[in-house]
């Protein structure tokens, strides 16, 4: 995956993290004690997610190697968005 695509996935994951914080605090009114306890885990999960994207191989310029599904930045971005909605759903249906 190209460096620009890796950066896009990182930006999407960061936006998802900020959106998660906003929704949990302002929309669902989760207490600050619960948020501060749980956000440590979510920061680790999102950081691990971004780190996993950075370990995908880059195809050298001029070579047309077959692309794997793990090289598609849209799939990684969709996973970040789905993961964010899943976390929000856990809190919403508690």
> What pLDDT was estimated at residue 33?
92
> What pLDDT was estimated at residue 24?
94
Residues 32-53 pLDDT 10s: 899 999 999 999 988 887 887 7
Portion of the chain with pLDDT greater than 70, in percent: 81
Query: Between residues 63 and 77, which one has the greater pLDDT?
Result: 77
CB-based contacts of 56: which residues, under 8 Å, 6+ apart?
Answer: 1, 6, 70, 71
Q: How confident is the model at residue 7 (pLDDT cuts 50, 70, 90)?
A: confident
Buried b (16+ CB within 10 A) or exposed e, 16-30: bbeebeebbeeeeeb
């Amino acid at each position: 995956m190209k460096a620009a695509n890796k950066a896009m996935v990182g930006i999407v994951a960061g936006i998802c993290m900020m959106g998660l914080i906003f929704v949990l605090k302002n929309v669902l009114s989760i207490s600050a004690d619960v948020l501060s306890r749980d956000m440590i885990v979510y920061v680790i999960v999102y950081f691990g997610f971004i780190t996993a994207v950075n370990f995908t191989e880059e195809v050298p310029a001029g070579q047309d190697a077959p692309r794997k599904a793990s090289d598609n930045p849209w799939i990684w971005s969709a996973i970040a968005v789905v993961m964010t909605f899943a976390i929000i759903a856990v809190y919403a249906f508690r």
